[in-house]
Amino acid sequence: MTPRFSRNASLLSLPKIAQDPERYEVLLSAKAYRLKLLELIAQADSRIYIVALYLEDDEAGRSVMDALYAAKRQRPDLEIVVLVDWHRAQRGLIGQQDAQGNAAMYREYEARFPGSVRLLGVPVSHRELFGVLHLKGSIVDDTVIYSGASINDIYLEQQQRYRSDRYQLLGNQRLANAMVNYVDQFLIDCDAVSSLSTATPLSTRMLKPAIRRLRVTLQREQYNYYPQDLSESQVGVTPLLGLGRRQNLLNKTIRQLVVSAQHQLTICTPYFNPPSSLSREITKALKRGVKVKLIVGDKTASDFYSDPEQSFKVIHALPYLYECNLNKFVKRQQRYINNGLLSINVWSHEKNSFHVKGIWVDERFTLLTGNNLNPRAWNLDLENGLLLDDPNGLLHAKRDEELNNILCHTSLVHKPSDLEQLNQYPLPVKRLLKRISRVRADRLLKQIL
């Protein structure tokens, strides 16, 4: 069955897959996630599907690659597929010139171990700026590993620093099959998706017609599965997909989660840049007396942040732009902060960064997602999520443990002066933000970055 969602539908009407709460595990650190991922790969029996924005050519990335190839040597019949964004894989890091990207590493491994692992690039759009593969959820046998983390040193805490995220494991054959079937049918079998490990990869120009067809298909399709009735000892899981403005089931569900909140609403996002429709619904929730908690990353906890002492690039202004958004929001909603309905928690921990996303509603619904809850995620990238419906509170202890873990490095914002103001920013940042504001380019930037 393909789930559908009209504008005013109830969350309860979404079809669900039954989840045993004993087979639902929450990991609380990037290091724990890295160790568990490597452990599951080593133990895999039939299939491994790794889905990520990127798998980096660094120590952590190579440790995962080594684990995949070792598992294949141990069990030659093991099916191993790695899907990453087509564009991201073929460029270097921001600021690197003439870099071959992570695809060079994929070609190296293919040359050493030919035919062992399928390394595929998915082009959601003809240019990275206009949409990327932001799909989450890797599958090892019948376990779904759901995290917003990509695979590199900082996401997996391979060195001294980490990027905080959420890490969930769901042992669920029906859910795993639904996610694998979607990847097989609409990504792997698509003409636009091709190997990144071949010595002569196809050019994006050659793939343009196929990319257009793929995007149309992805805007239309959802996970297919047979829904189940839940017993009192089970939790419901609804897998969701979204791409583009129209027929976007994930966006509609996110909006409905905020609309349906009656008592409590918690939202996590690393970059405070909510779509206007979502921002309006948050304000409506406050007006009807819902206690709203926002957990956002401090500008210094952004992956775009650079120390003011270092050479300035335009991309380094983004965290300051997000802080300006937060400043304006605090000013607009000050009365709700004063009366205790709204709490804004800003995450910062040494030189680490923040990449946590998700929504919790009324101690019943939890959304696991890689969606940044910003206009880019709303309109351009291929996103997904898992909506957990827990009417009997079977996951409350795990839910609270995860939330408390996220909150432990946050501080409360009581008023705008608790945040840095524009006149306190480094001079290059101040000049740039004033310039783009004068020509109203900030509106465009907020839509695509």
Quote the strand ranges of 243-351, DSSP E. Answer: 264-269, 291-297, 342-347
265: closest CA among 380, 365, 335, 348? 365
Q: Are residues 167 and 285 in the same domain?
A: no
Residues 82 and 206 in one domain: yes
Domain count for the chain:
2
Q: Give the CA distances from residue 72 to residues 142, 399, 405, in Å, rounded to whole numbers and listed in that order.
A: 18, 35, 36
310 pLDDT tier (thresholds 50, 70, 90): confident
The verdict on residue 10 lying in a domain is no
Residue 4 within any structural domain of the chain: no
Last residue of a domain, one of 185, 220, 255: 220
Query: Do both 159 and 49 map to the same domain?
Result: yes
Asked if the structure places residue 48 within a domain, the reply is yes
How, if at all, do strands 383-389 and 365-369 pair?
antiparallel
208 shares a domain with 249: no
Structural tokens at position 127: 């240019």
pLDDT greater at residue 81 or residue 313: 81
From the list 142, 165, 323, 389, the catalytic residue is 165
Q: Which domain holds residue 165?
A: 18-220
Shared-domain flag, residues 270 and 417: yes
Same domain? For 258 and 202 the reply is no
Model confidence pLDDT, tens digit, residues 38-76: 999 999 999 999 999 999 999 999 999 999 999 999 999
| 111 burial via Cβ count (<10 Å: 0-12, 13-18, 19+) | exposed
Residue 166 shares a structural domain with residue 290: no
Contacts of 276 (CB under 8 A, 6+ apart): none
79 catalytic? Reply is no
Mean pLDDT of all residues in 428-434: 88
| 168 and 139 Cβ atoms separated by less than 8 Å | no
Residue 234 lies in a domain: no
Task: Indicate whether 320 belongs to any domain.
Answer: yes
Within a domain: 426:
yes
Per-chain mean pLDDT for the chain: 93
Which CATH number belongs to the domain containing residue 59 in this structure?
Answer: 3.30.870.10
Same domain, 90 and 28: yes
- φ and ψ at residue 368, rounded to 5 degrees: -95, 125
Higher pLDDT, 49 or 433: 49
> What secondary structure, in 3-state letters, does 151-209 show?
ECCCCCCCCCCCEECCEEEEECHHHHHHHHHHHHHHHHCCCCCEECCCCCCCCHHHHHH
The active-site residue out of 153, 157, 381, 383 is: 383
Active site residue 414: no
Q: Which of 335, 104, 264, 331 is nearest to 198 (CA)?
A: 104
Reply yes or no on whether 126 is catalytic: no
- Do both 153 and 43 map to the same domain? yes
252 and 210 in a common domain: no
What is the arithmetic mean of pLDDT over 122-140? 95
Q: Are residues 324 and 215 in the same domain?
A: no
Bridge pairing between strands 383-389 and 235-242: antiparallel
Would you call 383 a catalytic residue per the annotation? yes
Does 312 fall in a domain? yes
pLDDT at 405 over 70: yes
Structure tokens at 430: 């101040």
One of 87, 126, 316, 355 is an active-site residue; which one?
Answer: 355
Q: Do the domain assignments include residue 130?
A: yes
Q: Select which of 110, 134, 281, 390 is catalytic.
A: 134
Q: On the CB side of 84, how many CA atoms lie within 13 Å of its CA?
A: 25
Residues 183, 54 share a domain: yes
- DSSP lists the bridge partners of residue 48 as 80, 140
